[in-house]
Amino acid sequence: MPSLDPAVAAQLDATAETRIASLLEFLRIPSISALSEHAGDVRRAADWIVAELTRIGFEHAEVCETPWHPVVYADWLHAEGAPTVIVYCHYDVQPVDPIELWETAPFDPFVRDGRVIGRGSADDKGQLHMHLRAAEALFATRGGLPVNLRIVFEGEEESTSASLPGWLEANRFRLGADAVVISDTGFFEGNIPAITETLRGMLYTQIDVSGTPTDLHSGSYGGVVENPANALAQIIATLKDRDGRILIPGFYDDVLALDAKAKERMAVLPFDGDAYRESIQCGPLQGEAGYTVLQRTWARPTLDVNGLWSGFQGEGSKTIIPAHAHAKVSMRLVANQDPADLFPKFVAHVRAVCPPGVSVDVQLLGMGNPVRTATDHPVTLAAGRALEATFGRAPVFIGAGGSIPVAEMFVRQLALPVILLGFANPDDHAHAPNESMVLANYETGIRTIAMLWDILGHEGAGSSRG
């Protein structure tokens, strides 16, 4: 069993206070990529990272322009004979609404009861910050790194990574590497160290139902003019049956059935349904018949309404037929579904079930393919050993219900192996109020990353590069 270089360990022990102060400073920047009024904050976060990367010892640190939010690039390529790894994290965050459910201001982060609380603490600024600090400890103690690193930090991950494919194409020349390490995932329930093997894909849409140019008096016209809000509800109700099966014709055509080995790997994981329900305080679990909870969230597609709005939402009553009604509807996809193939099927279904008397449009807001990573890659194996050495137990291999479009892009566009090494605890409230990061995961994870680079620097990544 390897152990962490004592000099690196000592540097990290001595810098704990500065590290947390730096993390809180970073989290205070409200880098919400989805909201255009925060575009300046997203850029401010990028500038902050570039200054840090430069100060630590990276070279060529740069805020790279894209059509929307910038990508941060940096590298350090002087570890002769050692592998080259791309490190990917994202520095943008989710919007904060419903703001009234936060116990404190989401961008005024603080530490309490062993957690850092604030938007982005777990997803993903906290994990990005861990990579900065691991590299800093290595640079500070040795003046260099044991491996060659290329940093790619994105500012649009929470907005479906619209600019990233173009940026990756345009920057192929400086993205040569043996593997990509993506830190934007988490541990298994109960905070068990984990490496993520599969990610679901995504198809994100908006349904817009239109009736009349203005709201109508529901007394005068109720009974003869189709109501866009009722129509929208009818449309949504046809998307999924009571058992969670999606009713869009052709939706399951390309879904790969789980093989026995994958089922077995899921079956042996310690899963406590009561604890799971308790952690999110939900009612009885639902879903497709014939599948376990882990199979449903990792290996089966699903569909959720993410937002609804129409007509009067205020206090009291207003008697109108709303002029229009809207829903954000997203689908999570699994191997081998293709969102580009499913979108027209979705649109055709919505148009077919829309009641007469109103019109309907469907917007495409985002797409990403499902991803499967190699569990026997040398970087995966090294990450497993580093996790075991620092956290005290070997990682389990898990799936994730979420989507990380960039993982699919690295695989598809650059043909690179991707390793999903993330450190968030499942109870971190990512995308929700009171997001937090377990401080022990943050601290130990920094040591895991430093040790991973040392193992790879010593043993190589099993490729011809470096």
Site for its own copies in 132-171 (CB under 8 A): 158-160
Nearer of residues 101 and 267 to its own copies, judged by Cβ: 101
Task: Extract the tokens encoding 129.
Answer: 């910050």
Pick from 358, 360, 381, 449 the residue near its own copies by CB under 8 A. Answer: 358
In this chain, which of 285, 340, 352, 394 binds its own copies, going by CB under 8 A?
Answer: 285
Q: Which of residues 403-432 bind its own copies (CB under 8 A)?
A: 403, 426, 429-432
Q: How many residues bind its own copies (CB under 8 A)?
A: 105
Which ranges constitute the DSSP H helices of 57-124? none
By beta-carbon proximity to its own copies, the closer residue of 193 and 405 is 405
Nearest residue (CB) to its own copies, 84 versus 205: 205
Residue from 221, 271, 345, 463 binding its own copies (CB under 8 A)? 221
Does residue 319 interact with its own copies by CB under 8 A?
A: yes
Q: Which C-beta is closer to its own copies: that of 94 or that of 373?
A: 94
Angle between helices 39-56 and 125-142 (to 10 degrees): 20
Q: How far from 413 is each of 17, 179, 263, 407, CA to CA, in Å?
A: 41, 13, 30, 10
Part of the chain binding its own copies (CB under 8 A), chosen from 15-23, 308-316, 408-416, 454-462: 308-316
CA angle 201, 204, 209 (to 5 degrees): 155
β-pair type (194-199, 371-372)? antiparallel
Round to whole Å and give the CA distance between 426 and 191.
Answer: 7
- x/- mask, its own copies, residues 71-110, rule CB under 8 A, reads -----------------------xx-xx--x---------
The minimum distance between CB 34 and its own copies, in angstroms, equals: 4
67 part of the interface to its own copies, by CB under 8 A: no
**Contact (Cβ atoms closer than 8 angstroms) between residue 228 and residue 210:** yes
- Where do we find the tokens 């959720």? 304
Among positions 2, 176, 401, 460, the unique one binding its own copies when judged by CB under 8 A: 401
CB–CB of 332/403 below 8 Å? yes
- Residues sharing a CB contact under 8 Å with residue 429, sequence separation 6 or more, in sequence order: 122, 435, 436
Q: Which residues contact 314 (CB under 8 A, 6 or more apart)?
A: none
| Cβ partners under 8 Å of residue 98, min gap 6 | 433
Angle at the Cα of 462 (from 2 to 126), degrees rounded to 5?
60
Q: By CB under 8 A, which span of 49-57, 255-263, 401-409, 447-455 interacts with its own copies?
A: 401-409
Least Cβ distance, residue 400 to its own copies (angstroms) = 7
Q: Which is nearer to its own copies, 20 or 269 (CB)?
A: 269
Burial class (CB in 10 A: 0-12, 13-18, 19+), 182: buried
Applying CB under 8 A, among 400, 409, 437, 450 the residue interacting with its own copies is 400
Q: Which is nearer to its own copies, 131 or 300 (CB)?
A: 300
Query: Is residue 201 within 8 Å of residue 191, measured between CB atoms?
Result: no
Stretch touching its own copies by CB under 8 A, among 108-116, 210-218, 375-383, 436-444: 210-218
Among 355, 413, 414, 465, binds its own copies (CB under 8 A): 355
By DSSP bridging, strand 148-154 and strand 71-76 are: antiparallel
Q: By CB under 8 A, tell whether 204 contacts its own copies.
A: yes
Binders in 226-255 for its own copies, by CB under 8 A: 226-227, 229-230, 232-240, 242, 244
Q: Binding segment for its own copies among 176-184, 299-307, 377-385, 411-419 (CB under 8 A)? A: 299-307
- Determine if 271 is a binding residue for its own copies (CB under 8 A): no
